[in-house]
Amino acid sequence: LPLLPPKRVAINGNHIAADQTFIEKRRRGLARFCNALVRHPVLREEQLVVMFLTVPTELAVWRKQATISVQEEFVGKQLPPNLEDSLPQNLQDTFDTVRSGVRRSADLYINLCNLTERLCKRKEAIAGEYGRFKMNLQSITETSADTYAIDTNDVPLLNEGINGTAKHVGTSQNLLDDESRAWDEGLLEDLKYMRDALVSMRDMFDRRDRYAKDNIPQLEKRIQTNEQKLQGIKAKGDTAKPGEAEKFENAIVNDKQSIVAQHARGVFIKECVRDEIHYFNATQYHVSRLHQDWAQERVKYAELQADNFRGLVDAVESMPLGD
């Protein structure tokens, strides 16, 4: 199941007001959630998902007049004859291995998201410092004539070079701002996509632990006990209480049916988890694209910055050196 972003943020149990930054993060989180639903081969066919994405009215209004089944999908479902045999014998080992990798990877991607957010803010801060650097350079040109009043012949060329530096520093500031936004909208969102996918898989394995349990061993013991009691009742012949044998026979039949149903449910759950792992496996290609896009973007901004500062070299070439 894809992750829903939080509606509110609380500190020490007290909800804080949502600012524009939080609203934008939630908007992006909802976009990732909806995209994950639409991409998923099973969830996108669910009635509630289809209604959520297509009904023009408020979902709460639609739910009041709609009948939504919350029955588990495996209830009453017959086990296909070849399904259990088609599952690999080492499937549980695969589950354990994938789960271990997912847990470690989820923690690492959570860290990467936090680091990238901090790097984005640092780039913004550096861009702001470049802006202040530019303003100070421009202010220096206003003082040059007074500072070098004893001989102002070279002041025009001096100021021209300083203004050139200020101009190129300003260009560098704009590039840093653009690069920071590119990190925020590109790399960070790609990392969050991976983080969400990994956390969703981690949660799926946790849900399996909680809900895939059965009481088949207890039922088998109870069947064995009831069969022994039934044999004792039948041995009594006509002296047995009326209906007592039927009671144990019905209990045995019901328990056996429950074992069959629970066993089938366990097989369906294994199949479901296997299919989810196969679907999740494609995220490795998202990782490849993430790194390729990020590398190309780094080259782009490095070249733009290099071109900008090569222009600065030309701009300061004619500054006076007093030779």
pLDDT tens for residues 20-50?
888 888 888 888 988 898 899 988 888 878 8
d(CA 207, CA 59): 26
Segment among 37-41, 291-295, 300-304 with least mean pLDDT: 37-41
The structure's pTM equals 0.85
Fold of the CATH domain 99-209+285-323: Substrate Binding Domain Of Dnak; Chain:A; Domain 2 (1.20.1270)
Q: What is the mean pLDDT of residues 195-203?
A: 96
Q: What is the mean pLDDT of residues 187-215?
A: 95
Indicate if the pLDDT at residue 164 is higher than 80: yes
Position 241 scores a pLDDT of: 77
188-193 contact pairs (CB < 8 A, 24+): 188/113, 188/116, 188/117, 188/120, 189/28, 189/32, 190/286, 190/289, 190/290, 190/293, 190/294, 191/109, 191/112, 191/113, 191/116, 191/290, 192/28, 192/29, 192/32, 192/113, 193/32, 193/286
Q: What is the mean pLDDT of residues 284-304?
A: 97
Count of CB atoms situated within 10 Å of the CB of 53: 12
| Cα angle value 82/87/90 (rounded, 5°) | 150
Encode pLDDT of 59-111 as tens digits. Answer: 777 777 777 777 788 888 888 989 999 999 999 999 999 999 999 999 999 99
Label residue 251 by pLDDT band (50, 70, 90): very high
